[in-house]
Amino acid sequence: SFGLGKSLIQLETCRLILQHTGGRGLIVCPLGVRQEFLRDAGMVQIPLHFIRTTAEATEDGLYLTNYESVREGKLDPRSFQVVSLDEAAILRGFGGTKTFRTFMGMFEGTSTYRFVATATPDPNEYIELLAYAAFLGIMEVGEGKTRFFKRDSTKADKLTLHPHKEREFWLWVASWALFIERPSDLGCSDDG
């Protein structure tokens, strides 16, 4: 949900992983969100540097870039130990397009530590959930379509969940995804 501190959670998660593994971390976000990340990183004293090319990541530490730098091949995410996608709902628009396939291919072989963060997942937009699973290396989009859904022959990405697969699908999603709506979902107070 909005306002739960996804940027702070991503920063701290990446910091802790890098503290354990060493190396470099990368947060990919829309260009308009970078100031929020830089502000939040300063607030919690996590060094964060905005880069547009892999060559700019000269030391171990945490880096921030925009989706266009990755998509245009200026930055290779495979040279980072942890990668997190912010506002990952952008993958929804990539769907089955060439851009999506190209983008996803750039992350093949990346770190074991991959994260997706968004305030706008649509639980009825199955393609979006399948795109997240593909990015995280859980299951390819095509495999998910075949396993859980009926297809509409008139519209390629209009999916209808098989009624007998509904429970299995949501248990599968719950095995790799965490949905948070309120601070109390994390054990904190909802006041304020």
pTM of the predicted model, to two decimals? 0.84
Q: Estimate to the nearest angstrom the gap between the alpha carbon of 127 and the chain centroid.
A: 14
pLDDT tens digit string along 124-140? Answer: 678 888 888 888 889 98
CA angle 135, 139, 141 (to 5 degrees): 75
Q: Which two structure tokens, joined as six digits, stand for 111?
A: 């770190």
Neighbours of 8 (CB within 10 A): 16
Amino acid 46: pLDDT: 96
Residues in the chain, pLDDT under 50: none
Q: Tell me the CA distances in angstroms from 33 to 27, 50, 66, 67, 102, one per residue in order.
A: 11, 11, 9, 11, 23
Query: Are the beta carbons of 15 and 39 closer than 8 angstroms?
Result: no
